[in-house]
Amino acid sequence: MFDIVLYEPEIPANSGNIIRLCANTGASLHLIEPLGFDMDDKKLRRAGLDYHEWANVCVYGSLADFVDQRKPPRLFALSTKGRKVYSEVGFEPKDAFLFGPESRGLPASVLTTMERDKLLYLPMQPDSRSLNLSNTVSIVLYEAWRQQSFVGALIK
């Protein structure tokens, strides 16, 4: 339903957690090279547990390759430099969410190509730098899925 795009992810445990998240929500995970780990990294496997087989994970040589191949109808970037709070957006099926590398976030070369209303942020305390990548992905993905009434989920 949704696409999670990690631009040059660096920490295998974060990506493993996100693989598990995607397997449990039905989202697809797209990794933009270079990766800071090998896909068979022990830490990636450990964090993802046995969810790798249930997740749709694709690797691309560049962000342009992802856009050309997947053709997302709307691409949102999450950044501390965002202009709009993520919860103020009405998300739609097939939206894609772009997240930057853990140590530096999305580069200016990517941010300047984004439409201003597609640059989103999560509110934080004034002196905070950023949230953990896998936590940020979880917050945004669950909000988008909630807006779709958790379609496909087992609701008890």
To the question of whether residue 122 is assigned a binding role by annotation, the answer is yes
To the question of whether residue 105 is assigned a binding role by annotation, the answer is no
Q: CA nearest 4: which of 136, 111, 152, 102? A: 136
Per the CB < 8 A criterion, the answer to whether 96 and 5 are in contact is yes
To the question of whether residue 149 is assigned a binding role by annotation, the answer is no
How big is the chain, counted in residues? 156
d(CA 136, CA 115): 20
To the question of whether residue 133 is assigned a binding role by annotation, the answer is no
Q: Which helix (H) or strand (E) holds 133?
A: helix 133-147
Q: Which residues are annotated as a binding site for S-adenosyl-L-methionine?
A: 78, 100, 122, 130
Q: Which residues are annotated as a binding site?
A: 78, 100, 122, 130
